[in-house]
């Protein structure tokens, strides 16, 4: 099947009350096209509206990348010299942070730029030992709007500024040590760990869980 014919985001329900979204462009490191970003927002909206779904997991297809962020080839055709760069006014990607229901990021490889920001927008991050995080936007003249708003809330300020200003790379081990990642597991154990966490949330009182997130 050609990539253009394959679903860009795979959807399944691996456990009762758990919805899983898999970014499905492994040959492009699961980079996000504009259409995918719109689709993610629609899928999260449908997830929130489904009374039988209590928690969601986002992950990436393959074992090399969670997501490399925006598709740079597409971006190059959208931005002209002299254009003002769009900066997010809300610390969110695809309605993930604003979701009334919890969302877990199962980070299975590199999480860069918008891919890192997608993980930051999630409530809980579980990563494999092969995962790493980066916000390299300053290298290509782009502002990491979501990262700039969220990362200093989740990491020591110096670490956040190193990533935002100097395009520093954060390993999965350091992300776990510093609290950005809540659980670090071997690659083959990643989805098992994410499902265990999701099932623990799904087994709790939905009203209490959603109210806690709202607060």
Instruction: Write out the catalytic residue numbers.
Output: 117, 137
Sort 1 into a burial class: Cβ within 10 Å, 0-12 / 13-18 / 19+: exposed
Paired with 32 in beta bridges are: 70
**Helix, strand, coil content of the chain in percent (nearest 5):** 40, 20, 35
Tokens of 86: 């769009």
Q: What's the rounded Cα separation, in Å, for the pair 104 and 107?
A: 9
**Residue 139, token pair as written in the block:** 């290298």
Length of the chain in residues, anyone?
Answer: 215
Other beta carbons within 10 Å of 182:
16
Residue 183 DSSP class: E
Extract the tokens encoding 99.
């979701």
Looking at the DSSP assignment, which residues form a beta bridge with residue 59? 22
Give the sign of the dihedral formed by CA 64, CA 110, CA 175, CA 199.
negative
**CA nearest to 35, candidates 70, 2, 76, 61:** 70
């Amino acid at each position: 099947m050609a990539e253009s014919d394959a679903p860009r985001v795979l959807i399944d329900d691996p456990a009762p009350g758990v919805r899983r979204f898999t970014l499905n462009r492994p040959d492009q490191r699961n980079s996000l096209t504009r259409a995918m970003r719109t689709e993610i927002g629609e899928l999260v909206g449908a997830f929130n509206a489904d009374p039988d779904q209590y928690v969601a997991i986002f992950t990436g297809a393959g074992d090399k990348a969670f997501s490399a962020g925006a598709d740079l080839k597409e971006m190059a055709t959208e931005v002209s010299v002299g254009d003002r760069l769009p900066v997010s006014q809300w610390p969110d990607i695809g309605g993930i942070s604003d979701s009334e229901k919890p969302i877990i990021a199962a980070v299975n490889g590199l999480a860069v730029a918008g891919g890192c920001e997608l993980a930051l927008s999630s409530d809980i991050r579980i990563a494999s030992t092969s995962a790493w995080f980066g916000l390299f936007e300053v290298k290509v003249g782009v502002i990491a709007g979501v990262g700039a708003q969220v990362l200093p809330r989740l990491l020591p300020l110096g670490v956040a500024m190193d990533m935002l200003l100097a395009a520093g790379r954060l390993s999965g081990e350091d992300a776990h040590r510093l609290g950005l990642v809540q659980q670090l597991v071997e690659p083959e154990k990643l989805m098992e760990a994410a499902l265990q966490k999701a099932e623990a949330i799904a087994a709790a009182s939905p009203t209490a869980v959603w109210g806690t997130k709202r607060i």
